[in-house]
Amino acid sequence: MEVYSFAHKRLSHTDNTQIVIEDRIETPIESTAFPGKVPKMLEQHLALDNLKNKNDKLSLYLEAAVKAYIISNLSLFSGMEALLDGRRWYNRDYD
């Protein structure tokens, strides 16, 4: 069995030794013995060589987390797979 898990974390505002999890993304549990479409897509799109935004660790992590969410929810709308490829992953706006 395999699952990918991502979390948006920050330091606590009241105690900077504590970490607070704001949001989390978990992919559905999938069989590694009989992989279907989702595990194959996760493996393909989340491979380090295939992630595009390597400007900093946060950008890389966010790209992986968003792609994992998209792949895990392909049925949300018909254009979900098209979001995985393209130039939109090359930079993040910091403003």
pLDDT tens-place string over residues 48-72 = 999 988 888 888 898 899 899 999 8
User: Residue 55: inside a domain, yes or no?
Assistant: yes
User: Residue 21: inside a domain, yes or no?
Assistant: no
CB atoms within 10 A of CB 69: 16
Structural domain count of the chain: 1
- Residue 92 has a pLDDT of 59
| β-sheet bridge partners, residue 6 | 25
Q: Which domain holds residue 48?
A: 29-89
User: Residue 6: inside a domain, yes or no?
Assistant: no
- Residue 76 has a pLDDT of 85
- Note the pTM of the prediction, 2 decimals: 0.76
Q: Write out pLDDT tens, residues 76-94.
A: 888 778 888 766 666 655 5
Tokens at residue 71, please? Answer: 């792949």
User: Residue 35: inside a domain, yes or no?
Assistant: yes
Distance of CA 47 to the CA centre of its chain: 11
Owner of token pair 């090359």:
90
User: Residue 22: inside a domain, yes or no?
Assistant: no
Please give the backbone phi and psi of residue 9, each rounded to the nearest 5 degrees, phi first.
-115, 155
